[in-house]
């Protein structure tokens, strides 16, 4: 399935009457089920006063990394840089936190609420170089939708 074809389904999840964390979980499940290279999908959200990211919801293999300090790993770097981070080959990264031996590539896109970096969507793939600019644009759009329910 083309990822952009999922946009109407994501919009209807956002517009539904579930709680915010249930909507975010439903988005993780949808992306992980429908997009073959999206093997793990999660939202890490920043603590309101401490420099740590917390895993709010995920689809895919469970991970031990439910709290990540700012600056650590790809996720922690995005918490500080406010920039998208596309990793074609995770083995080439020094500052990387491995969640599964199967993961080959990753993309992390910051989520902004009122201009503030409040969290991120993190996708892992078991395929090398699974993500390109079309994934960045799509995931920026997903995060913009989620920002409206935070």
Selected binder of ligand SME within 99, 111, 118, 130 (CB under 6 A) = 99
**Is 119 near ligand SME (CB under 6 A)?**
no
Looking at the chain, the number of H-run helices and the number of E-run strands are 4, 6
Among all chains, which residue has been given the structure tokens 């500080």?
A: 80
Q: How far is the CB of 8 from ligand SME (least distance, A)?
A: 28
Q: Name the token pair of 108.
A: 């992390």
**Is the CB of 14 or the CB of 79 nearer to ligand SME?**
79
| Separation between Cα atoms, residue 136 and residue 132, nearest integer Å | 7
Binding segment for ligand SME among 19-27, 29-37, 69-77, 141-149 (CB under 6 A)? Answer: 69-77
Q: How far is the CB of 61 from ligand SME (least distance, A)?
A: 9
Q: Which residue is nearest to ligand SME (CB)?
A: 73
Contact 37, 114 (CB under 8 A): no
| Separation between Cα atoms, residue 86 and residue 120, nearest integer Å | 13
Output the CA–CA distances (angstroms, integers) from residue 54 to 43, 71, 79, 130, in the order listed.
8, 14, 11, 25
Q: How far is the CB of 42 from ligand SME (least distance, A)?
A: 6
Binding residues for ligand SME, total number by CB under 6 A: 15
Residues that bind ligand SME (CB under 6 A): 40, 42, 63, 65, 68, 73-76, 96-97, 99, 106, 122, 124
């Amino acid at each position: 399935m083309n990822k952009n074809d999922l946009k109407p389904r994501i919009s209807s999840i956002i517009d539904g009457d579930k709680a915010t964390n249930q909507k975010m979980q439903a988005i993780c499940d949808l992306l992980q089920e429908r997009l073959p290279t999206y093997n793990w999908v999660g939202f890490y959200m920043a603590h309101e006063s401490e420099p740590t990211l917390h895993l709010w919801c995920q689809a895919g293999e469970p991970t031990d990394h439910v709290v990540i300090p700012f600056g650590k790993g790809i996720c922690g770097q995005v918490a500080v840089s406010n920039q998208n981070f596309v990793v074609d080959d995770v083995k080439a990264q020094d500052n990387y936190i491995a969640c599964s031996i199967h993961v080959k590539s990753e993309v992390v896109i910051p989520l902004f609420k009122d201009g503030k970096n409040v969290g991120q969507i993190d996708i892992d793939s078991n395929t090398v170089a699974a993500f390109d600019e079309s994934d960045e644009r799509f995931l920026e759009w997903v995060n913009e939708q989620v920002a409206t329910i935070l």
